[in-house]
Amino acid sequence: MSDSRTRIGVTNWLRGQLRNVAPFVTLIVLVAFFWAASDSFATLGNLQNILTQISVTGIIAVGLTFVILCAEIDLSVASIANATGIVVAYFTAQDASVTIANIPLAGWAAILIALAACFALGAVNAFGLTLIGIPSFIMTLAMLQIGAGICALLVRGQIAYTVPPLILTLGSRSLGPVPWIVIVAALFLLVGHIVLTYTRFGRYIYMTGGNREAAEYSGVNVRAILSAVMIISAVCSGVAGMLGVAYFGSAQQNEFDTYLLDSISAVVVGGTSLFGGQGGIGNTIIGLFVLGVLNNGLDHVNIDSFLKILIRGLILLAALIINVYAQRMRTVTAA
């Protein structure tokens, strides 16, 4: 009788932890497969490549994790990243010779303008979502087009190469063997984890995503929380966009288009619930490594690039199925 209860208890625990266990198991399987399939995969140099490749996505995914935990979505992250990267490059050339008290700005004005721009775009998203009542899917879809319009207006089909020295350092140079962009991404992930895990604001995010009506009855200002996460998402995207321009070596239109799917995939594949209230930065880190190992490993085994896209899509579909199934298990358990 006790053995039966133990088995039932273990089964219920596995069902409850399915969203967290499945991505980790997927990561272990991928690492083992590519390790066996390619001699060049399991090297320190390749680990550095993987960390560098997922850094821009990781910074964007931090902000997106905040949004998805509130049971919302932000489809404008890649567009805001692209627009902010172009803004910082656009204004760098104009403020390069500006000085204050004979001290060169060294691109600080361009950085501040770019940060203000992404903050403003996030604030527009927040205004549309919380005050007008436009669903986040539609509001951020409109912002996606607005960001694309800003990019087109500023670059007009051209390519900008100049960025402030600070952005150039953080985006394309290293501190010893570790690229600065990896350090910045790690700091964003760490701060995001601390905020979500140890602060009142983080608890309010989980409450808002878990049960919005109950959160309001508990005194949580849900509109303020939703506004904050939309702005946080935009600012994270903006920082990623600036560093991404330095990493790529240029700022141009449509440069970040693939990062929308990548960032959403990282959050969802990692196990953060699309229904809100479940998950976190730890899940996002696992999702980032799943995508990073998958993309990098497929390059090492010389697989068809078109098949690579199909495999990524299938893994995202599997993650969505697990996400929905885990939500149903949670509902059944609660009942």
More reliable by pLDDT, 48 or 326: 48
Q: Residue 99: its pLDDT value, please?
A: 46
Count of beta carbons in the 10 Å neighbourhood of residue 173? 11
Residue 325 to residue 87: CA distance in whole angstroms = 42
122 token code pair: 């996030």
- On the question of pLDDT at 33 being above 70, the answer is yes
CA atoms within 13 A on the CB side of 166: 14
CA–CA–CA angle 102, 104, 105 (5° rounding): 130
Q: Residue 236: its pLDDT value, please?
A: 98
Instruction: Give mean pLDDT, residues 141-169.
Output: 91
- On the question of pLDDT at 102 being above 50, the answer is no
Does residue 9 lie in a domain region?
no
Instruction: Give mean pLDDT, residues 159-165.
Output: 87
For 252, the domain range is 20-334
Dihedral, CA of residue 310, residue 315, residue 319 and residue 320, to nearest 10 = 10
Instruction: Give mean pLDDT, residues 175-193.
Output: 96
Contacts within 8 Å (CB) and 24+ apart, 187-194: 188/58, 188/59, 188/62, 188/236, 188/239, 189/58, 189/62, 189/281, 189/284, 189/285, 192/62, 192/65, 192/66, 192/281, 193/280, 193/281, 193/282
Q: How far is CA 326 from the centre of its chain?
A: 22
What is the largest distance, in Å, between two alpha-carbon atoms of the chain? Answer: 82
Residue keyed to tokens 């240029």 = 250
- On the question of pLDDT at 70 being above 50, the answer is yes
Q: Which strand (E) or helix (H) includes residue 119?
A: helix 108-127
Percent of the chain whose pLDDT exceeds 90: 59
List the single range of 118-122, 157-161, 162-166, 196-200 with lowest mean pLDDT: 157-161
Q: Which strand (E) or helix (H) includes residue 100?
A: strand 99-100
Q: Residue 19: its pLDDT value, please?
A: 67
Does residue 180 lie in a domain region?
yes
Instruction: Give mean pLDDT, residues 58-62.
Output: 98
Residue 117 to residue 42: CA distance in whole angstroms = 41
Say which amino acid occupies 314.
Answer: L
What's the pLDDT band for 274 if we cut at 50, 70, 90?
A: confident
Instruction: Give mean pLDDT, residues 203-215.
Output: 94
Residue 241 to residue 108: CA distance in whole angstroms = 16
Does residue 210 lie in a domain region?
yes
Does residue 158 lie in a domain region?
yes
Instruction: Give mean pLDDT, residues 298-325.
Output: 78
List the single range of 33-42, 122-131, 226-235 with lowest mean pLDDT: 33-42
- On the question of pLDDT at 103 being above 60, the answer is no
List the single range of 15-19, 175-179, 281-285 with lowest mean pLDDT: 15-19
Instruction: Give mean pLDDT, residues 65-81.
Output: 96
Give the mean pLDDT of the chain: 87
Does residue 95 lie in a domain region?
yes
- On the question of pLDDT at 94 being above 80, the answer is no
Does residue 274 lie in a domain region?
yes
The dihedral built from the CA positions of residue 102, 103, 107 and 111, taken in this order, carries a sign that is: negative
Count the domains in the chain. 1
36 token code pair: 């066996």
More reliable by pLDDT, 198 or 20: 198
Residue keyed to tokens 């990493």 = 247
Does residue 4 lie in a domain region?
no
Residue 216 to residue 47: CA distance in whole angstroms = 45
CB within 8 Å of 78: residues ≥ 6 apart: 60, 144, 237, 256, 257, 258, 259, 260, 263
More reliable by pLDDT, 158 or 121: 121
- On the question of pLDDT at 332 being above 70, the answer is no
**CATH number (domain holding residue 89):** 1.10.3470
Percent of the chain whose pLDDT exceeds 70: 87
Does residue 10 lie in a domain region?
no
Q: 174 has which bridge partners?
A: 179
Most confident stretch, 13-17, 199-203, 298-302: 199-203
The dihedral built from the CA positions of residue 323, 327, 138 and 282, taken in this order, carries a sign that is: negative
Q: Residue 106: its pLDDT value, please?
A: 55
Q: Are 79 and 259 in contact (CB under 8 A)?
A: no
For the stretch 293-324, what's the b/e string if a residue is b when 16 or more beta carbons lie within 10 angstroms of its beta carbon? bbbbbbbbeeeeeeebeeebeebbeebeebbe
The string of pLDDT tens digits covering residues 283-302 is 999 999 999 998 898 888 87
